[in-house]
Structure 1
Amino acid sequence: MIVGSALGRDVVIQHPELVNLYGCDVGDETRIGTFVEIQKGAVVGERCKISSHCFICEGVTIEDGVFLGHGVMFTNDLYPRAVGVDGELKGKDDWTLTRTLVCRNASIGSNSTILAGVTIGEYALVGAGAVVTRSVPPGAVVAGVPARIVGQVTDMPVARKRRGALS
C-alpha cells in the first residue's frame, strides 16, 4: 500500500501491492523490493536499492546511492516499552523519536539491525547480520554483534585518490 508518499522520478517498486509506504519521501531512480515498509517521516535518497523485507522507520534518513540488503531493520526508540509504569498501554506521545542517518554510498548487509541514533558514514560497509550500536566512520567496514571495525573500504574516492587514481 502506498499512501501519502512522495515518490521521485523512475522509482521502481517490484510489487506495489506487497509494500507499505506511507508518508515517506523516496528519491529518483530508487528501487524497492517486496515486503518493504517505509514509515512516515522516513527519507530515502536517489539511486538507492532497498532489498526485500527491509523496515525503515520514522526518523531514518538514507542519503543517495545507499544499498540495503534483504531484511535490514532500523529502530527509532532507545527505550521501547509497550506499557508505562502504571501498566497502561503507551501512546504515540509516550516515547522519544531518535533519528538515524545513513550517509551516501553506504552499504548495509542482509539481516543487519541498525539501532536508533547512529550515523553510518559515507561508503561504510556493514557486514551481513551485524548489530550496529554505535556510529560507523566513513569508509569503515564493520561486522559482528555488536558491530566492530574490521577493515577499511578500498573503493571509495578518498582511498583511490590516495593511491593516485583520481586527480
Structure 2
Amino acid sequence: MNYPTADQLTLEEVEALERQLKSEDVTPDHLISIGTGIYPNTHNFELGTPKTFRLKENRNLTLETEYFLDSSNIVRVILYQWDNTKNPSFLTDKQKNKKYLLFQEKFDQLASRVTTEFGEPTEKDIQSTNNPENFRDGIKWLYGTKNAYLFMFGNNSNGYRQIRLAIYGE
C-alpha cells in the first residue's frame, strides 16, 4: 500500500483516495490537535479537527489516518496509526510473540520505505533494546520540506503495541 505524503494534498484529493481504498470515515465531531513533539508547526497553521479514516489493513492491523488541514483545506500533516485488531489481554504468550514480530516487521518496513524516499534518518532513539518491558522507539527524518517521525510504543507486560508515522513539509 502506498501512503500519501503531505505535499499540497487537498481535502477533495484525500476524500477521493480514501473512497478508493474503501476506508471508513471516522472523523470526530470534537477538536483534536497534534502535539508539537510530532509536528512542530513552525508556520503556525490553524489546524482544525483532522479528517480521519479507518481501514482494516489486514486481519491483524487496523490503520487510522488523520489528515490535519489548514483553513484553506490543504493537508499540512498526515498522521498514520497502526493498532492491533485483537485485544492483547486475550492473547496467549505465543500469540503475543507473533504480534510483537508483526509490529517490529511493520516498523522496520516503514523505516526502510521512509529512508528510501527521504534519505538517512537525522535522529534515532531505539529504546526497545535497552528497556524491553516498556518502550518508545523513534526515528526522525528532518529535512525541512520533507519530514517524517516514525515511532512505536510497546509494553510487554500487557502486550500493547502501536505504531505512528507523521509526515509533513515545512
TM-score with structure 1 setting the length: 0.24
* Structure with higher helix content: 2
Which structure is richer in relative contact order (CA contacts within 8 A, separation 6 or more)?
Answer: 2
